């Protein structure tokens, strides 16, 4: 009888004593290793809205690049005296899309044969430009431009230059179309262009 009682007590203790917790930290997902492309072709509000909707793109930032003035403002860039163009930085996941795929999208969203003008936007700040971040991007951009030229009658005027510094534009320019869909320019220019390209 005593043996049965001891066995019962031992089993009860086994149930009550908590199992030791693992000291190993919980695993966390690895951050996505993104790459960036830098394009300019008309107003950056339009480019931003278009590329934000593309598969594999994780973020788009409107800004200025291609000129010599440090820390340019929107007003200064609009004067045409800074040398900068309105551009976007497109951060993308290379496991989901590629730089080449983004280049093909870039040709669709603007007219690469129009010199210093896209629709109602006129000036060197609206020029067609690709700023490459490394030699692989340079080779890809030049090859894509050559292939595009073979398909078009007009001369492709897109500049292909090394990226020096990208300056993010003022906060009120970021996500502009998404935040201001009823603004005049957005309704008259951006919305019809996005609709034509199948972007909702």
| Catalytic center residues | 43
How far is it, in rounded angstroms, from Cα 113 to Cα 158?
Answer: 7
With the C-alpha atoms ordered 184, 45, 116, 102, is the resulting torsion angle positive or negative? negative
| Coil, strand or helix at 25 | coil
Q: Cα angle vertex 134, ends 49, 37, to 5°?
A: 5
CA proximity to 124, closest of 68, 184, 187, 173: 68
Per the DSSP assignment, residues forming a β-bridge with 131 are 38, 161
Compute φ and ψ for 161, nearest 5 degrees: -135, 155
CA dist., res. 100 & res. 102, Å (int): 5
CA distances from 101 to 35, 63, 181, 182, 185 (A): 13, 22, 27, 30, 28
CA distance 118 to 41: 7
């Amino acid at each position: 009888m005593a043996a049965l009682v001891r066995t019962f007590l031992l089993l009860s203790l086994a149930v009550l004593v908590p199992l030791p917790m693992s000291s190993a930290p919980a695993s966390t997902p690895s951050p996505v290793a993104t790459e960036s492309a830098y394009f300019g072709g008309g107003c950056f509000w339009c480019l931003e809205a278009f590329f934000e909707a593309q598969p594999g793109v994780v973020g788009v930032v409107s800004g200025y690049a291609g000129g010599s003035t440090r820390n340019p403002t929107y007003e200064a860039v609009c004067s045409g005296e800074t040398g900068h163009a309105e551009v976007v930085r497109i951060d993308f996941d290379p496991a989901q899309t590629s730089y080449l795929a983004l280049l093909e999208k870039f040709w669709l969203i603007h007219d690469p044969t129009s010199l210093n003008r896209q629709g109602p936007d006129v000036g060197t700040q609206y020029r067609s430009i690709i700023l490459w971040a490394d030699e692989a991007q340079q080779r890809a951009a030049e090859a894509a431009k050559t292939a595009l030229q073979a398909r078009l009658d007009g001369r492709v005027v897109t500049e292909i230059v090394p990226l020096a510094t990208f300056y993010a534009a003022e906060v009120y320019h970021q996500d502009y179309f998404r935040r201001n869909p009823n603004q005049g320019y957005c309704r008259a220019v951006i919305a019809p262009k996005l609709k034509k390209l199948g972007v909702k």
